Amino acid sequence: MQEPAITPELIANHGLKPDEYDLILEIIGREPTFTELGIFSAMWNEHCSYKSSKKWLRTLPTDGPQVICGPGENAGIVDIGDGDAVVFKMESHNHPSYIEPYQGAATGVGGILRDVFTMGARPIASMNSLSFGEPSHHKTRQLVNGVVEGIGGYGNCFGVPCAGGEVRFHPAYNGNCLVNAFAAGLARTDSIFYSAASGVGMPVVYLGAKTGRDGVGGATMASAEFDDTIEEKRPTVQVGDPFTEKRLMEATLELMQTGAVISIQDMGAAGLTCSAVEMGDKGKLGVRLDLEKVPQREENMTAYEMMLSESQERMLMVLKPELEAEARAVFEKWDLDFAIVGETIAEDRFLIMHNGEVKADLVLSKLSSTAPEYDRPWVETPAAEPLTDADVPTIDPIDGLKALLSSPNYAGKQWVYEQYDTTVMGDTQRRPGAGSGIVRVHGTDKKLAFTSDVTPRYVKANPFEGGKQAVAEAYRNLTAVGALPLATTDNLNFGNPEKPEIMGQFVGA
């Protein structure tokens, strides 16, 4: 297959700015191949690199006596005593859910569950935070129905209880809904698995479902602003299979008991590219991949497609070679693919081969830890003018009460959470609709409470105070049910960071 010429239009379509492309030329000293361009695009977008937010995220408090693992891995981990740990994370799947509501939301749930069990934890609870446009908007009904059905369809089939969440409606979300998924799991503190590769010449193993063309370029799409071409982006939305994910979880947790795992990484955004690069970079190693060995469900897939596919229910592992037979037997038992597709190498190099031909040969660290990082210009959100008596409209109290009672934001949300399985696994103590969700730690007297909360209009009016209020309200939700808050995970949804006023909102919050 003839690869396309590298043109300014192709570079722009990959979400790369002219100065970023110039930096690529400086790094590799030549024009990139089509596959290399795709790899840079995937690794340098906002979704994977946090290039505009890292500077500010580093200022957040991440240490504490109970914190086992803070930011930087697939999920955070907190010690809850007696050798038990809770592994948890929240993540957005906004763009895919707007383009294809059912699959976008479903694969958001699947991705967050993989982040948890990749670290050796069995998921015990999920939550979701959903923001939609006004009910009268022509897209809202389709989005609500598809997103809620997708969350329920995936979570219910996988078999994890929904412990809580929130749903809001506001005209600000008419152009793009927000779909945020949370998952928490339990692990033993002496059986936690990380993603940093170690050892030269160790087999890199592909696990799970086969690779297809769904989701190619999804991470780049998730970093872009929407425009009139939104419908053309539908092929970049992933397609999920919760029953395969359930088998993948059981196989992964069983595999971890064999002692064969050196490191393991979920194939999420940017698929094979991001998982391989992150494993190598964290271990200060290089990675070689032979793509003809990648299990494929479609014919004639190119190196570009395989490297950027976001097909779901897949993992990448660095394996102890002497335990290959035991590891392979586990995945064959669960009817999942197990294929050695490469190896770790000593050089700081990301070498991609396909049928004996070099498709990409890059400096691996330049794709991840030393990728571009920006200190974007920002302007502080102007303070609102103080309200005077004349600014407050005169409203009859009864009319005001009727308006509040008729608002979808204050209406009962049973129609949402009754579509989710809230009691599977048998440890749910407090179900959605009654404050923080509570789940028992099976076989013990311990219980875990979870909540998700924010008041977006406060953040818009005053990002700094609104950010404080979000933490405080979540804290109150937990203490109201008798729980001691142990940790938070921030899940920040903001617009284009290249706009100073948007960047200012992010900085303030």
Q: Which SS3 state, helix, strand or coil, does residue 259 take?
A: coil
Two structure tokens written together for 69? 């693992």
Q: Whole-angstrom Cα distance, residue 271 to residue 291?
A: 13
Query: Of all residues in the chain, what percent carry a pLDDT higher than 90?
Result: 86
Of 47, 95, 137, 138, the active-site residue reads 47
Q: Whole-angstrom Cα distance, residue 500 to residue 315?
A: 38
Amino acid 427: pLDDT: 94
Characterise 313 by phi-psi region: left (phi > 0), alpha (psi -120 to 50), beta (else).
left
Amino acid 219: pLDDT: 47
Burial class (CB in 10 A: 0-12, 13-18, 19+), 147: buried
Contact 123, 161 (CB under 8 A): no
pLDDT tens-place string over residues 257-304: 999 999 999 998 888 999 999 999 999 999 999 999 999 999 999 999
pTM: 0.93
Q: How many residues does the chain have?
A: 509
Q: What are phi and psi of 171, to 5 degrees?
A: -60, -25
Read off the pLDDT of each residue in 151-157 and give the average, rounded to a whole number. 97
Q: What is the DSSP string of 381-443?
A: PPPPPPP-GGGSPP--HHHHHHHHHH-TTTS--HHHHTTS--STTS-EEE-TTSSSEEEE-TT
Select from 116, 10, 130, 21 the least CA-distant residue to 491: 130
Task: For the domain made up of 8-53+194-369, give the CATH fold.
Answer: Phosphoribosyl-aminoimidazole Synthetase; Chain A, domain 2 (3.90.650)
Task: Supply the mean pLDDT for the chain.
Answer: 92
pLDDT tens-place string over residues 427-448: 999 999 888 999 999 999 999 9
Q: Whole-angstrom Cα distance, residue 481 to residue 436?
A: 7
pLDDT band at 63 (very low <50, low <70, confident <90, very high): very high
pLDDT tens-place string over residues 307-316: 999 999 999 9
Amino acid 217: pLDDT: 62
Select from 142, 108, 143 the least CA-distant residue to 126: 108
Give the CATH superfamily of 74-190+397-489: PurM-like, N-terminal domain (3.30.1330.10)
Q: In one letter, which amino acid is 346?
A: A
* Residue boundaries of the structural domains of the chain: 8-53+194-369, 74-190+397-489
Query: Of all residues in the chain, what percent carry a pLDDT higher than 70?
Result: 96
For β-strands 447-450 and 437-440, DSSP reports them as antiparallel
Of 444 and 237, the one with more pLDDT:
444
Residues 6+ apart with CB under 8 A from 6: 31, 32, 34, 37
Q: Is 354 designated active site?
A: no
Question: Same topology for domains 8-53+194-369 and 74-190+397-489, yes or no?
Answer: no
225-228 long-range contacts (CB < 8 A, ≥24 apart) are 225/495, 225/496, 226/95, 226/98, 226/175, 226/176
Of 93, 137, 138, 442, the active-site residue reads 93
Q: Whole-angstrom Cα distance, residue 211 to residue 292?
A: 12
Kindly report which listed range (2-11, 69-78, 154-163, 327-336) carries the lowest average pLDDT score: 2-11
Contact 413, 162 (CB under 8 A): no
Q: Whole-angstrom Cα distance, residue 406 to residue 347?
A: 63
Amino acid 222: pLDDT: 46
pLDDT band at 194 (very low <50, low <70, confident <90, very high): very high
Read off the pLDDT of each residue in 306-331 and give the average, rounded to a whole number. 95
Q: Is 47 designated active site?
A: yes
Q: Whole-angstrom Cα distance, residue 38 to residue 57?
A: 27
